[in-house]
Amino acid sequence: MIEVFQAILLGSTFILSIYWLLAWVKITTYQTSQTSEVQPVSVIVCAHNELNNLKTLLPILLDQNHPDFEVIVVDDRSDDDTYDYMLEAQNDRLKNVRVDQVHDHINAKKYAITLGVKAAKNEILLFIDADCTPNSSGWIQQMTQGFLPSTDFTLGVSFYSRAKGFLNQYIRYETLLTAVNYISWAQLGNPYMGVGRNLAYRKSTFLENKGFNKYQHVTGGDDDLLVNQLAHKKNTHVVVGAASLTFSVPKQKWSSYFKQKLRHFSVSKYYKTKDKLLLGLQNLCNLLYWLSLFILASQTNLYEILGGVLLFRWVILINLNYFTSKKFGDRMNSWLVPILDIFHVAYVTITGSIAIFTKKVQWK
């Protein structure tokens, strides 16, 4: 039996190491392609009771260094004076879309996004959440300059702002690992998700494929399910770098973060079978790694070998954390990686298991 756990430990170490090293190389050596043509863009922001965040975000968006864009704010049933603020915010680039009621046949946020898409005058749509801010005045230009005639999707990276406490450290670590996953997989020809906090796609692609029709009842997934359904190797572009980055306001409480991650995990059950298998293999390897390591540590005296295997894992993860976050434009604290790694595997296992059996989650 000891030999079985040794094989599991070495096998999981090999699989994870190959993936992490491949992701490290793909991301850190990537050069974002550009086109010389400046393309008109419609920036879409969905907001439900986001008055204070809109007061921060809109001036930044309207001051973007891009010659041809509009900003569409979809006011989704807000009762915090968002409507009055939008009436007073006079700007030729700004357009307000008001949602007064929820429809039973479609999730509220998906309905809001659909109205925003239909109201857009431009072909290229760029999405950002109301509680986010672009990291530069060139954000629109960076996120859209790679749109070739064959491009339908551009995937960007969005991190969370720094704050004190372990929760913030973990949120930022988990967000980095998620970005490493979907950016590197897209580079390898298998785009499986994106984040609505920094995502661009064509209006025609959305409308021709009937938008969210296949999963309009699902809470969440307005970003990753659309990418999972329609994106592929030939029509997807990724953008990395500080100028293309956005930052979002992180959760302050574990309970709020748990609800957010539960929503994210619950959506992944609607992914393509191939993507569910690949993600499942990754999570299974992480879980088996730690289980076999603990069992061997308690049942054998191979402490030097086990310590070497563990050190090998953490050296790769620390370097992956350091160099990919630097490439993305926001360097993370690498010294906490060993603690965050252990916590991450446990948290993902527990939350993911709960999400499988959760039937109803909420957006807002």
**Coil vs helix vs strand at 313:** helix
Q: How far is CA 255 from CA 47, 69, 260, 310, in A?
A: 22, 38, 9, 31
pLDDT in 10s for each residue of the chain, 364 residues: 889 999 999 999 999 999 999 999 999 999 877 666 789 999 999 999 999 999 999 999 999 999 999 999 999 989 888 988 998 888 999 999 999 887 777 788 888 999 999 999 999 999 999 999 999 999 999 999 889 899 999 999 999 999 999 999 999 999 999 999 999 999 999 999 999 999 999 999 999 999 888 887 787 778 899 999 999 999 999 999 999 999 999 999 999 999 888 888 888 888 999 999 999 999 999 999 999 999 999 999 999 999 999 999 999 999 999 999 999 999 888 889 999 999 999 998 888 888 766 665 555 5
pLDDT of residue 360: 58
Between CA 172 and CA 213 the distance in angstroms is: 32
H-helix segments, 221-336: 224-230, 254-267, 273-299, 303-328
b/e per residue, 266-279, with b = 16+ CB within 10 A? bbbebbeeebeebb
pLDDT of residue 364: 52
Between CA 54 and CA 81 the distance in angstroms is: 11
CATH number, span 32-251: 3.90.550.10
pLDDT of residue 361: 52
Kindly report, residue by residue over 189-230, the tens digit of the pLDDT.
999 999 999 999 999 999 999 988 888 778 777 889 999 999
pLDDT of residue 60: 96
- Beta carbons of 114 and 211 less than 8 angstroms apart: yes
What count of other Cβ atoms lies within 10 Å of the Cβ of residue 35? 13
Bridge partner list, 75: 47, 98
Kindly report, residue by residue over 82-117, the tens digit of the pLDDT.
988 998 888 999 999 999 887 777 788 888 999 999
What count of other Cβ atoms lies within 10 Å of the Cβ of residue 353? 11
pLDDT of residue 254: 93
Between CA 262 and CA 221 the distance in angstroms is: 12
pLDDT of residue 151: 94
pLDDT of residue 8: 96
What count of other Cβ atoms lies within 10 Å of the Cβ of residue 296? 20
pTM: 0.93
Token pair 């049933």 in the structure block, residue: 77
- Beta carbons of 81 and 51 less than 8 angstroms apart: yes
